[in-house]
């Protein structure tokens, strides 16, 4: 059974919607800003921030009740994806939502506790009520009119990619007829402080695979794909032909030196598609900019492709690392790359790492693409690769 991508919705530091996002990528612009502006923090670090604040997003959506930023971003992207697919939730097709997040409603929770700690009779409890990860999924489903199957995934940086993988299985087994799949995450003090404590935040714009790389830049955003069985669609963007999830079980936050999880995810994605490494035309790599992660992914690329590594690039210097949403945002960008026949450049790269000797694409290229890999490799060794292919 073939699975088709029929709709795309995306919001990130690169812009709101497909058109703004494509304009940013094609112009080789970064969406990073010098420091967060939507919450107070002592850390002046570059981040990929979505420009509108919560009040502006809520007005845009016509929402008047207390809603987490994670849910607001997810609603923007999921509703765009459904509209793009021409999918009316009032029709007879069974529509599901598989949504991923890491921080959930933490942006509201962390504003509740300072008042509550000073006086346990104070603080707006409704803010803490949105803390659970599933709350954003429920909010998205209600806004979009999805009253069927819903579920929430949280597997770190591979979360949204795993949501897309799960969506394909739901379709293959006939559980539903259409799935909105992806993820959403918002910047907040919790994640900024947490990654700062791990000492993996770069004080400058990140430089994936560069010899001088020293960390990542956090970002926020959301992206969803609408997936349907190909024989029930007309003129889809492309097909999801391969998907695989693996785990190297190496460390809570570090990737293995031999890139085992990364390698197996890519290899198994190709196997499920019935393709070989030679069939891959380009790769949207995970490419966080940390020394460990890029080294692991680079080793895996060499193991799988040898000296014939396809053109590749990381889009994180444009969007920042959006955590659970990363797999959804980068899958959406991979689909757009495939659909339009273009490779988006990686910013900030100057010097190859002598250990890897890998050079990403650094300029905008137009060329036909048959198959593109999208990699999402998370904490805990949870690694997922998605393979998208042009329609035969």
Which residues does the annotation mark as catalytic?
157, 286, 321
CA 4 – CA 18 distance, rounded (Å): 18
Query: Across-strand partners of 183?
Result: 100, 223
239 in Cβ contact with 274 (< 8 Å): no
Q: Is the CB of residue 274 less than 8 Å from the CB of residue 252?
A: no
Yes or no: say if 383 and 158 are a contact pair by the CB < 8 Å rule.
Answer: yes
H or E stretch at 337: helix 326-340
Element (H, E) at 178: strand 178-185
C-alpha dist (Å) from residue 332 to 31, 126, 167, 209:
17, 33, 15, 22
3-state secondary structure 40-63: CCCCCCCEECCCCCHHHHHHHHCC
Measuring CA to CA, which residue among 321, 316, 318 is closest to residue 31? 318
Is the dihedral angle over the CA atoms 84, 86, 90, 92 positive or is it negative?
negative
**What length does the chain have?**
392
In whole angstroms, what is the distance from residue 163 CA to residue 22 CA? 23
Per-residue tokens: 279: 């069939």
Which 3 state secondary structure label does DSSP give 388? strand
């Amino acid at each position: 059974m073939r699975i088709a991508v029929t709709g795309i919705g995306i919001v990130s530091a690169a812009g709101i919607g497909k058109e703004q996002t494509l304009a940013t990528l094609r112009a080789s612009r970064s969406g990073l800003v010098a420091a967060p502006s939507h919450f107070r923090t002592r850390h002046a670090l570059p981040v990929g921030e979505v420009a509108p604040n919560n009040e502006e997003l809520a007005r845009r959506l016509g929402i008047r009740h207390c809603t987490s930023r994670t849910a607001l971003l997810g609603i923007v992207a999921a509703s765009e994806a459904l509209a793009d697919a021409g999918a009316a939730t009032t029709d007879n097709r069974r529509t599901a939502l598989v949504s991923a997040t890491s921080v959930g409603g933490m942006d509201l929770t962390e504003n509740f506790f300072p008042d509550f700690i000073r006086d346990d009779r104070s603080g707006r409890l409704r803010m803490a009520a949105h803390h659970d990860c599933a709350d954003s999924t429920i909010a998205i489903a209600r806004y979009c009119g999805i009253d069927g199957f819903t579920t929430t995934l949280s597997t770190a940086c591979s979360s949204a990619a795993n949501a897309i993988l799960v969506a394909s299985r739901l379709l293959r087994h006939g559980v539903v007829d259409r799935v909105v799949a992806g993820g959403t995450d918002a910047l907040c003090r919790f994640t900024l402080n947490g990654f700062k404590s791990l000492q993996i935040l770069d004080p400058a714009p990140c430089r994936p695979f560069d010899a001088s790389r020293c960390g990542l830049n956090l970002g926020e955003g959301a992206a969803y794909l609408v997936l349907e069985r190909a024989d029930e669609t007309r003129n889809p963007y492309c097909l999801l032909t391969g998907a695989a999830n693996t785990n190297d079980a190496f460390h809570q936050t570090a990737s293995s030196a031999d890139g085992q999880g990364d390698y197996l995810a890519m290899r198994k994605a190709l196997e499920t598609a019935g393709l070989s490494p030679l069939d891959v035309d380009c790769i949207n790599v995970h490419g966080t900019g940390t020394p460990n992660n890029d080294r692991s992914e680079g080793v895996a690329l060499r193991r799988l492709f040898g000296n014939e590594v396809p053109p590749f690039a990381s889009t994180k210097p444009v969007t920042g690392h959006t955590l659970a949403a990363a797999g959804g945002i980068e899958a959406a960008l991979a689909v757009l790359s495939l659909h339009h026949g273009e490779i988006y450049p990686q910013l900030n790269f100057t010097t190859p790492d002598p250990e890897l000797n890998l050079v990403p694409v650094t300029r905008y290229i137009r060329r036909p693409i048959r198959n593109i890999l999208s990699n999402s490799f998370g904490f805990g060794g949870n690694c997922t690769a998605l393979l998208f292919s042009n329609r035969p």
